[in-house]
Chain A
């Protein structure tokens, strides 16, 4: 267990008073920034890059690790309390978390999310230490056909959680896919739905879509109904997780990393897909099916745990392969210090790397210590009368959207998407499938076309790996299951 010996040395680096200070500052900054809608972990790290110029590399990276996990914790806070995801990986947290908050269980939802992040991050980082080289091989073995198969699985999984009406869910998904089409076609440089505007050439940022549909749409919806329903503040219940809550969530916390960790190793678009898959898994396995959609605590715990486990910087450290947006920014930061992440980094800068990994653990502990006591306090935000609360949300949403690109056009787009979100609420379309469409659509398209191009246009290029075939078999089973269940032989056996 050589790696664990190195890790102990790493703790030697991470536990010096100065390192602890950087970690604590990073954690606080990250939480503060992550709470703002629109600014996710990647953005937070990028924005704070210049702040660390004066630090030595070890200190800087310890601080980055803190900012990163802090922003992840913070992102789910607004998602749960205000139905306003701070970043795209926190979108799923709103699904069950927000109904919980509405019924006065906001503190429990926040605690479930915080502990989820903690266990996910812990297990994910431990796995990173134990499996780093094997994981690197896994990442290299994956290609476009495999990614596309995973995307198809994600789409199928998502359609099964489209809510009460399949048709409305699909309509919403299609709206998302169309928004995802806007921008330059990555493969050929062709402009699509940009109407000649250069500002639209890079597409519409997922964050703007999520904040627009969730936050602005919600605010407009509440505003439209304020006069009819009394503006009562939402109650805040007991602050602690009950025994029943823990019994329902502990398995979800532990299952999250199993789904999340493999995704952190491969460049499949980051932490969003594992959160969707975890949500669907927990829903299927739950004994409390009736609660889903009205605040099932497992639906918060699992995805959050998966998100943190997906976020361990494994492939970046071992291969120089950025698998998430944050890892890409960190990669740039490494280069800033004249360090080249890659196969030799562990040998050349062991102190830095193991210090960084150890500080991931330290950051996680700090965050849990910070967030558990904070959960009931955050939940009290909901006591603010609604008209003031939503005015504040509108303000922060606008700031967040502006921060993404620093352009007025983004605000206009945000408002338009907000109106779309309002319209969707008016006609009973769920907004989540639209956000998922924006996230998955462009990604799936790119992988599909890349796979086809690699095989020189032959369709067999989509099913030429065992992994892809296995995933398609699972997809087929999911799709055909309702039919198979009707086959008499199977029914008898099941009965």
Chain B
């Protein structure tokens, strides 16, 4: 090497080392602190949360918030959160079921995973898991653009009944997901065959928003949290909510009040691998009970606009089975 080459080489190396150091300094501590939970005071050392979708998604935020709050409340420390996305959560579900007897793993999930497991014809279903707790729920909203001709839910459904094909419905999830199930249940209650519903899937509530605002779809169905701001600013007109109770602060009837027998909420919860001993299962359930009672978790729920839907163990298991039946019946009618 000539002298200049050596200088260049050294400069390049210093530079790379510098960049490497920056990465280590910033990314290192969070990586190192997770996973080391063998200290005293830890209830479940080495507990890991699996997130079956990508960073930033709904299950991800639930899992990371729960992990952080559990640590802040001193319930346990060093919960590692990792993502295993794929096929609407089915890839993660398969992995969870294969971790038979692992008491140090829990997966955040929700109604979307129930639907994805069925519509992907996954050999593993939620019946194969150990239910731990349902944490939060969120109603879906039926919204139209501010200049839409439909002023009430009654007007909308009347027009919908006359010609379902002409009134495309947009939703933020693929077939089998929550925003797909809600309009299908609505259609059933209104006497429209689900097969006739012209459902157009979008990649999440954000992508759907443009199509509702621009009246490309006749109406949209998505989680209430997605559109709070647009509803308050008057960009979107809220026609109804899908649960059994009105949402505080929002001026819209429930579908039941409007005369359509629909009770739909999207929910999120935690399941664990199959084959756990009673002690292991009890420990996990207790961890979430204590988390649920902590001020940190209450504050997080308020900040994120989540409604409390706490349900544990056996009851949650029965709820899961009932939700699964409902998904199967809707998908069956659609021939999926």
Residues of A within 8 A of B (CB): 25, 28-29, 31-33, 46-51, 53, 139-144, 184, 186-189, 191, 198-199, 201-202, 266-267, 319-322, 328-329, 331-333, 335-338, 340-345, 374, 377, 380-381, 383, 405-407, 450, 453-454, 456-457
Contact = CB atoms under 8 A, between A and B. Distances in A.
A47 B30 CA distance: 12
B15 A374 contact: yes
Contact of A51 (B5, B9, B26): B26
B113 to A, nearest CB: 13
A2 to B, nearest CB: 19
Given A141-B214, A320-B206, A321-B210, 12 more contacts: A28-B19, A50-B81, A143-B211, A186-B201, A198-B90, A201-B91, A332-B61, A342-B229, A345-B229, A450-B200, A454-B168, A454-B217
B228 interface: yes
Nearest to B231: A342
A160 B214 CA distance: 33
A243 to B, nearest CB: 25
A202 B86 contact: yes
Interface in B47-73: 54-57, 60-61, 64, 68
26 contacts: A29-B26, A33-B23, A48-B27, A139-B210, A142-B214, A143-B214, A189-B174, A189-B176, A198-B87, A198-B94, A198-B120, A202-B86, A320-B229, A321-B210, A331-B206, A332-B55, A332-B56, A335-B61, A335-B225, A335-B304, A338-B304, A342-B233, A383-B5, A405-B86, A450-B200, A453-B198
Given A344-B229, A453-B168, A201 B90 contact: yes
B120 A333 contact: no
Contact of B207 (A53, A140, A322): A322
Nearest to B28: A51
Closest 4 CB pairs of A and B: A332-B56, A342-B229, A201-B87, A338-B303
Contacts of A456: 165-166, 168, 198
A53 B213 contact: no
B206 A188 contact: no
Which interface residue of A25, A189, A453 has the most chain B CB atoms within 10 A? A189
B54 A144 contact: no
Interface in B200-236: 200-201, 203-204, 206-207, 209-211, 213-214, 216-217, 225, 228-230, 232-233, 235
Nearest to B54: A46
A46 B60 CA distance: 11
Interface of B: 5, 8-9, 11-12, 15, 19-20, 22-23, 26-27, 30, 54-57, 60-61, 64, 68, 81-88, 90-91, 94, 119-120, 122, 165-166, 168, 174-176, 198, 200-201, 203-204, 206-207, 209-211, 213-214, 216-217, 225, 228-230, 232-233, 235, 303-305, 336
A370 B87 CA distance: 40
Contacts of B20: 32
B206 A322 contact: yes
A405 B336 contact: no
Contacts of A266: 210
Contacts, number: 161
Contacts of B235: 343
A343 B229 contact: yes
Contact of B55 (A49, A141, A267, A342): A49
B61 to A, nearest CB: 6
A453 B200 contact: yes
Contacts of A406: 82-84
A321 B209 CA distance: 7
A413 to B, nearest CB: 13
A38 to B, nearest CB: 15
Contacts of B120: 184, 189, 191, 198, 201
A198 B91 contact: yes
Contacts of B56: 46, 49, 328-329, 331-333
B73 to A, nearest CB: 16
Contacts of A450: 200
Nearest to B211: A143
B12 A377 contact: yes
Contacts of B176: 189
A189 B336 contact: yes
A335 to B, nearest CB: 7
A198 B210 contact: no
Nearest to A449: B200
B232 A344 contact: yes
A50 B216 contact: no
B229 A25 contact: no
A491 to B, nearest CB: 44
Contacts of B23: 29, 32-33
A193 B207 CA distance: 26
A454 B228 contact: no
A139 B212 CA distance: 12
A267 B5 CA distance: 47
Contacts of A321: 206-207, 209-210
Contacts of B206: 320-322, 328, 331
A322 B207 CA distance: 7
Contacts of B27: 48, 51
Contacts of B214: 140-143
A104 B68 CA distance: 51
Contacts of B54: 46
Task: Give the most central of A29, A33, A46, A332: most B CB within 10 Å.
Answer: A332
A340 B304 CA distance: 9
B22 A143 contact: no
A165 B36 CA distance: 58
Given A332-B57, A345-B229, A319 B26 contact: no
A340 B229 contact: yes
Contacts of A51: 26-27, 30
Contact of B122 (A140, A184, A198, A333): A198
A346 to B, nearest CB: 11
Contact of A189 (B12, B57, B119, B217): B119
A266 B206 CA distance: 12
Contacts of B174: 184, 186, 189
A48 B23 CA distance: 10
Given A328-B56, A338-B303, A187 B201 contact: yes
A199 B201 contact: no
A202 B120 CA distance: 11
A202 B30 contact: no
Contacts of A322: 204, 206-207
Contacts of B87: 184, 198, 201-202
A343 B233 contact: yes
Contacts of B9: 380
A449 to B, nearest CB: 9
Nearest to B23: A32
Contacts of B11: 377
B138 to A, nearest CB: 12
B36 to A, nearest CB: 16
B216 A198 contact: no
Contacts of B211: 143-144
Given A143-B214, A345-B229, A453-B200, A329 B19 contact: no
